[in-house]
Structure 1
Amino acid sequence: MNNRFCRLSRAMIATGVAAGAVVLFAGPASAHVKVSGVDVTQGGYGLLTFRVPSESATASTTEIDITFPSDTPLISVDTKPKPGWTATIKNKPLATPLTDDDGAKVTQYISEVDFKATAPNAAIPAGYFDTFDLEAGVLPNKPQISFPTLQTYSDGSTVNWNEYSSDGGKTEPDHPAPTLALVSDNSAASSSSSSTPAWPGWTGFGLGIAAVILAVGALLRSGRKHTAS
């Protein structure tokens, strides 16, 4: 019984370390400002979530300024209230007026959405991340849409997430613009800017737990066979 317990403990520790490694090494690849979406159908309205990590070792994120494209203009944006932050929506005139769902003439499009912390304790601390939600439309009839984003830190430094791959997406630039994949049918969809899962850390954690359960079951079955013999 003691030997079986020792084998079980060693297996659980080894599996836990492996699972932790998956979570640990999944983090750096995702440490950019990114956007994911729900119901992001071309020609419709969707929920956009911007995930913002504070990559600075010492400063907190105090402001996120999201730029909306002018070549595929969006005419409607609603921001989700976020305690400790204000959201300012900025408009620019359309080159060609559009018509909304109600048949009204629209002469401006959404050019920027600026989120700003109202107090130091509301900012995103170094080493942490936070999310910002908004509903936007009408989404363009194209495979994807990008939102260059300027991130400002408490020490005055900034990071401009506005770069694009120069080789068709084979390599990622240092500061890629958050890009949302859009779907072309009417089904509800959740899309992200990366071919990897939106939350790789949770995926690795789940796989690690599953491996622990399988290891425990195998060792218990082995112990029962040994006792029966």
Structure 2
Amino acid sequence: MRSLPARRTAAVVLAAAASVVALAGPAFAHVTVNPGSAEQGGYTAVDFRVPNENDAAGTVKLEVNLPLDHPLASVRTQPLPGWTAVVEKSKLDKPIKVHGNDVNEAVSKITWTADAGVKIAPGQFQEFRVSLGPLPTDTDKLVFKALQSYENGDVVRWIDEAKDGQPEPAKPAPVLKLTKATSADGHGDSHGTTPTATAAPSAGAEGHTHGDAKDEASSNDKASDSTARVLGVVGIVVGVIGTAVGILGLRRKNSGPAS
């Protein structure tokens, strides 16, 4: 009968560890924009990172809506084997000036559809790469509302916007934060970056290679942050288990040898 308290203690420890992991898991399961920030006025390349949260079905379509209140004149998708991208444009209520030219329409939605036999399987994720620009200078963020469709017909709507002072919504929309330009001329790296694997933006938008290092650094920072959070969770779990082992050892020592 002396082993009953020990078994109860072990069960409590395992339950606590499972709770820690369960609470940490959702932070990595959202559809997100990576890197999560870019400079105003420039060009950048981002990945829409899509994890599969369904244990019984694969993801077969992603729809990303681009904000028309802050339109982007140049939007280009990078080819992704097994997926077909369709870009939709909408006419703007008010034209915008880009490199001295009037732009009357902008991309309003991108839809990626999986080819036959292709999907994001349970336990996997996929990244959909896009070049964007020039980024607006009159806002500190761009919100991309997204719809994730599964092969069983389920659709997850990543469209909720976070409110200041309130908890993060259950299905937050991907957000790209925009920071002030930092170059000496006050305009930042206004011609930003478009990676060599992606077609360069429209004519007149030369010099796009200057931002590659910044994109890579931002991606590394994002990866480091995710790694740190994972290691933090692992450390908590290990600490809980270590404490349990100590308690069990103390119980054995106090109880003495079994008669």
Provide the TM-score with structure 1 as the length reference. Answer: 0.70
Q: Which amino acid aligns with 2:83?
A: W
SS of alignment partner, residue 164 of structure 2: coil
Residue 143 of structure 1: aligned partner? 140
Residue 78 of structure 2: aligned partner? 80
Deviation at 1:27, TM superposition (A): 3.4
* Conserved? CA contact 2:37–2:176, under 8 Å: no
Residue 40 of structure 2: aligned partner? 42
Q: Which amino acid aligns with 1:44?
A: G
183-192 vs 123-132, which moves further: 183-192
Q: Which amino acid aligns with 2:81?
A: P
Q: Which amino acid aligns with 1:94?
A: L
Identify which of 172, 176, 197 aligns with 1:180.
176
Aligned pair 1:127/2:123, yes or no? yes
Deviation at 1:37, TM superposition (A): 2.8
Cα displacement string for residues 31-80 of structure 1 (whole angstroms, at most 9, x for unaligned residues): 11111238821011111111101101111000000000011111111111
Residue 227 of structure 2: aligned partner? 202
Q: Which amino acid aligns with 2:94?
A: T
CA distance in 2, matches of 1:180, 1:39: 5
Q: Which amino acid aligns with 2:228?
A: T
Deviation at 1:183, TM superposition (A): 1.5
Aligned pair 1:170/2:156, yes or no? no
Residues 1:198 and 1:173: Cα distance change in structure 2 (over 3 Å) = farther
Deviation at 1:23, TM superposition (A): 8.3
Residues 1:205 and 1:163: Cα distance change in structure 2 (over 3 Å) = closer
Cα displacement string for residues 68-105 of structure 1 (whole angstroms, at most 9, x for unaligned residues): 0011111111111110001111100011112322x332
Residue 115 of structure 2: aligned partner? 118
Deviation at 1:28, TM superposition (A): 2.4
Ranges of 4+ aligned residues in structure 1 off by more than 6 Å: 21-25, 205-209
* Conserved? CA contact 2:44–2:131, under 8 Å: yes
CA distance in 2, matches of 1:39, 1:178: 11
The total of aligned residue pairs comes to: 186
CA distance in 2, matches of 1:164, 1:201: 22
Residue 218 of structure 1: aligned partner? none
Once superposed, what is the RMSD of the aligned Cα atoms?
A: 3.1
Structure 2: 5+ residue stretches without partners? 1-18, 184-213, 236-259
Aligned pair 1:153/2:142, yes or no? no
Structure 1: 5+ residue stretches without partners? 1-20, 210-229
Provide the TM-score with structure 2 as the length reference. Answer: 0.63
Residues 1:80 and 1:23: Cα distance change in structure 2 (over 3 Å) = farther
SS of alignment partner, residue 27 of structure 1: helix
Residues 1:144 and 1:198: Cα distance change in structure 2 (over 3 Å) = farther
Name the % identity: 37
